[in-house]
Chain A
Amino acid sequence: MKMVLRGNMATAYAAKLARVEVIPAYPITPSTLFPEKISEFVANGEMNCQFVKCESEHSAISACVGASATGARVATATSSQGLALMHEILFIAAGMRLPIVMAVGNRALSAPINIWCDHQDTIAERDSGWLQFYAEKNQEALDLMLMAFRISENQNVLLPSMVGMDAFVLTHTMEVVEVPDQKDVDEFLPPYKPLYTLDVNNPMTFGAFSSPDNYMEFRYATQKAMENAPAVIDEVFAAFEKKFGRKYSRVVPYMVEDADIVFVAIGSMCGTVREAVKEMRAEGKKVGLLKITTLRPFPKDLIKKYLANAKVVAVFERNISLGFGGAVYPEISAVFVNAGQRPKIYDFIIGLGGRDILVSDIKQTYDIAMKAYADGKDDVIEWIGIKKEML
């Protein structure tokens, strides 16, 4: 059924359709509409779910861990400072191999305080052992959330997932979304079958103490689960396409085959970059876009496949790893550092704290990148649209 939904509503519908059994949450802008909608579903009897009102995000994710360990399907939502407050427990959820799914309204981190779109919150958690998916539009937020349960719950993976959607640009913006039928979702997403469950009649310990003798082996096993994930993601994306007709891929190429310069982008800005690519193609410029949908596990294989023949790769980053540059740029660079044929890779910090990203910004980036390439520059980390007069 077609509905007009905000991004937060789309993920709430995904949680309802996935028959999530426990949702502990603490409200934070721009994710508050998610727990609001869930509480409405539960109060109306539309959803058979334990909705837990927590006193903080740390408590919310801790309740998620406990609930997931009992074998329930669990989801939550948060953003920015809330995700940062969850930091400690994110690693515990991954180490205990609990397939919790979380919708994140991607928002800037303080200080200065800012509630608008920025990827810093999830980027800062990229080492936590959670799979990371990023939506470009509300339909993708719903679909990725649904698929995240099936991917996370796969016994070769058993890791939690976060689905990022850009603050306000997606979380609060209404779009037409195809909401699948419950019957189809039930066929696509069978009930979660946990390996181990907390049970008073059969007591066991989760995330037990581990000494220097065996800690490394547990970390290795978790990394192996991450390495298993790409095949599972591809399989689930294919099954989803078969069932619902919408195609997903860990990265999505657009006009990259013959492109001299390929822009790499994440989230809602991909729409703007695609428009800019269309306009520049009409001007005879060979440009393309590679959208990253799955940042963790990092799609090394596909990055190599789609970017190896480009002259220049320009990475757009709505984040800054202070003291280095954008966080995705070094990862893409690492894919090519030992390769024979490799593009020049340049980094562009853009749209932090909700600053609009315009087609003209993308065109300006093209000019900067091509000039850097012509000048043979190695290390380019540019801030697009920075107001020098304010500094």
Chain B
Amino acid sequence: MKVNTGATVTEPGSSVKNKTGGWRNMRPVTDLARCKRCGICVILCPDAVISMKNKEEGPRTDYDYCKGCGICANECPFKAISMVAEEK
């Protein structure tokens, strides 16, 4: 990116370009064998980075934007999500 006058963003969509996953210390990893596809993690993710297209595929976390807050792991009723330290 180039610095512009007044920190102005002239085109929409900059929050997509600006990947914020690098802030993460802990990575949520979903065990699809334990997951019952209830969708609670999808609903509760504060960054809306967990999606579930269909039950076969199950929930998917977009690590480009996941901050690793751990709410999904904490709320999962089946303990299917574990938080794993990021190695940098």
Interface size on A, residues (CB 8 A): 21
Separation of A98 and B5 alpha carbons in the complex (Å): 10
Contact: A95 with B10, CB < 8 Å?
no
Residue with the highest number of chain A CB atoms closer than 10 Å, among B3, B5, B7, B11: B7
Separation of A183 and B57 alpha carbons in the complex (Å): 73
Say whether A1 faces chain B, with CB atoms less than 8 Å apart. Answer: no
B12 contacts which of A203, A207, A217 (Cβ < 8 Å)? A203
Bitwise, B1-26 to A at CB < 8 A (1) or not (0) is: 10101111111101000101000000
Dominant secondary structure at the B interface: loop
Dominant secondary structure at the A interface: loop
Q: Chain A residue with minimal CB distance to B8? A: A196
A214 proximity list for chain B (CB < 8 A): 1, 3
Separation of A233 and B8 alpha carbons in the complex (Å): 25
Contact: B9 with A221, CB < 8 Å?
no
Contact: B3 with A217, CB < 8 Å?
yes
B12 proximity list for chain A (CB < 8 A): 203
Separation of A203 and B9 alpha carbons in the complex (Å): 9
A251 to chain B, nearest CB (A): 29
B88 to chain A, nearest CB (A): 15
Separation of A203 and B12 alpha carbons in the complex (Å): 8
B9 proximity list for chain A (CB < 8 A): 204-205, 208
Contact: A96 with B6, CB < 8 Å?
yes
Contact: B10 with A208, CB < 8 Å?
no
Separation of A95 and B3 alpha carbons in the complex (Å): 12
Bitwise, A75-98 to B at CB < 8 A (1) or not (0) is: 000000000000000000001111
Contact: B6 with A196, CB < 8 Å?
yes
Q: Chain A residue with minimal CB distance to B11? A: A204
B5 contacts which of A158, A203, A211 (Cβ < 8 Å)? A158
Contact: B5 with A210, CB < 8 Å?
no
A108 to chain B, nearest CB (A): 33
Separation of A210 and B7 alpha carbons in the complex (Å): 8
A158 contacts which of B6, B11, B14, B20 (Cβ < 8 Å)? B6
Contact: B3 with A205, CB < 8 Å?
no
Bitwise, A328-345 to B at CB < 8 A (1) or not (0) is: 000000000000000000
Separation of A204 and B11 alpha carbons in the complex (Å): 6
Separation of A173 and B73 alpha carbons in the complex (Å): 69
Separation of A214 and B7 alpha carbons in the complex (Å): 10
B8 proximity list for chain A (CB < 8 A): 96, 195-196, 204-208
A-B CB contact pairs (8 Å), 23 listed: A95-B6, A98-B6, A158-B6, A195-B5, A195-B6, A196-B5, A196-B10, A204-B8, A205-B9, A205-B14, A206-B6, A206-B7, A207-B6, A207-B7, A208-B8, A209-B18, A211-B18, A211-B20, A214-B1, A217-B3, A218-B7, A220-B3, A221-B3
Closest 8 pairs between A and B when the two form their complex, measured CB to CB: A97-B6, A205-B9, A96-B6, A208-B9, A217-B3, A196-B8, A204-B10, A97-B5
